[in-house]
Amino acid sequence: MNTPKQDGFSMPAEFEPHHGTVMIFPERPGSWGKDPSAAQQAFSQIAARLSQCEQVYMLAGDQTAAIAAEMLPEAVKLLHIPTDDSWARDVAPTFVRNAAGDIRGISWQFNAWGGDFDGLYPDYAQDDAAAEAICTALNVPCYNARPFVLEGGAIHCDGEGTVLVTEVCLLSGGRNPQLTKEQITAKLLEYLGAEKVIWIPFGIYNDETNEHIDNICAFTAPGEVVLAWCDDPDDPQYAMSRADYDILSSETDAHGRKLKITKLPVPHKPVCVTEAECNDYIFAEGEDTREPGERLAASYVNFYFGNDCVLVPQFGGAYAEDDAKACEILHGCCPGREIVPIPARVILLGGGNIHCITQQIPAARRL
C-alpha cells in the first residue's frame, strides 16, 4: 500500500478552511464524573459555535445518543459510533488532502497513550476502531498506518511541509519503542506528506499524554507559532518552556524560514483538582486515577481554529486575568477570526482541553 505522500496527499494546517469538525459526546465516568452533564454542556457549547461556520459531526454511543440529540443544534450530524472516551483529536482520523481536493483519512494505532507501558485505561478497542468507522461513515478512503502508534494531539502541521512534535511524547516507551527517532521522523514525513519534523523537548508539565505538542506549541500561520510560557523560576514549566524556546529559536521550517515565536503564558498558578472533584470520578479497574491537589495540564495553547473563530480555553475565578490575556494575545496572532472564550475547566478535569476534543476535516479546496 502506498503512503499518503506517495499518493500526493498531505495534512493541511488547522487554520486552513475546514469542511467540518469531528467531536465525541462525553460519558466516561472516569473522565467526566458520575454526572457528565456539565461536560456535555461544554461540548455542546463548542459544537454549537462551530456549527455556525462548518459542519460538526458528533459521535455518540447507545447510552448518550438521545441526550446528544436533545442538547445539540439540529445542524450537528450525529454518528452512532461507540468509543471508550471523548478525545476526538486522538482517536478520529488525521485527514489529508491532495492537489485535486480529494480528502482521505489516516487511522493510526491507538493504545490509550501508552498501552501496557503507561496507558491511561486498559480497554480501548472501540477508540482504536473509531478512525476507520468515521471514515466509513463519511465515505472517505482511509490509510491504515498500523502498527505505528500515534495520536492526533501529538502532531501539529503548518500545511507547508513542517511538522511539530515533542520528544518526550513520540519517544515514550509506550508508543513505538522499536523505532529510532530517525525512523519515526521518516514515518511522519510519509504519512503527513511533509518535508521536515521539528522536535522540541517538552510539553506541559504533568500532561498525562506524555506531553502532547498541542498543549505546548501550535502554528497560527506558516512560519508562526505560539509557545506556552512561564515566568516563575520555581515552576517546573519554566525550564521546560525555555528548552523548547531554544530549539524553536534555532530552527527553520521546511521553507527555510526562521520561526516567529509568540509566548502564550500558562495560568499564573497551577490549576489543581479539588477533593470534591476527585470524589465525583468513577474509575474503572486499571484506569489512571486522580488525587486531590493534583496539578492539571492547563494551557491556553489548547485552543481550536474554526473557520471564522478561535475557541480559547478559560479557567475562570482566580484565573480571569490570565484568561483575558490569552484571548488578547491570540487576537493578535489570528487576525480575521473571532476570539471565542470557552469556560473549559470541566474539560480540563477530563484530562485535556478544547483542541483535544476536536478534529478538523479540511475543505476540499485550499483557499
Q: Catalytic residues, which ones?
A: 356
> Residue 115: is it exposed, middle or buried by C-beta count within 10 angstroms (0-12/13-18/19+)?
middle
Yes or no: say if 226 and 217 are a contact pair by the CB < 8 Å rule: yes
Distance, CA of 86 to CA of 103 (rounded, Å): 23
C-alpha to C-alpha distances, 175 to 38, 95, 205, 245, nearest whole angstrom? 32, 21, 19, 25
Distance, CA of 16 to CA of 55 (rounded, Å): 15
The C-alpha cell that represents 147 in the structure block: 502498527
Helix, strand, coil % over all residues of the chain, rounded to 5? 30, 25, 45
The C-alpha cell that represents 19 in the structure block: 469542511
Taking Cα atoms as reference points, which of 339, 325, 333 lies closest to residue 49? 339
| Phi/psi at 4 (5° precision) | -55, -40
**Are β-strands 196-200 and 162-166 bridged in parallel, bridged antiparallel, or unpaired?**
parallel
Distance, CA of 114 to CA of 119 (rounded, Å): 4
Coil, strand or helix at 162:
strand
Yes or no: say if 351 and 30 are a contact pair by the CB < 8 Å rule: no
Residues 6+ apart with CB under 8 A from 143: 1, 3, 4, 96, 104, 105, 106, 107, 191
Yes or no: say if 302 and 203 are a contact pair by the CB < 8 Å rule: no
Give the N- to C-terminal CA distance of the chain in Å, as an integer: 30
CA atoms within 13 A on the CB side of 274: 5
Q: Is the dihedral of CA 300, 335, 189, 140 positive or negative?
A: positive
Neighbours of 68 (CB within 10 A): 24
The C-alpha cell that represents 323 in the structure block: 484568561
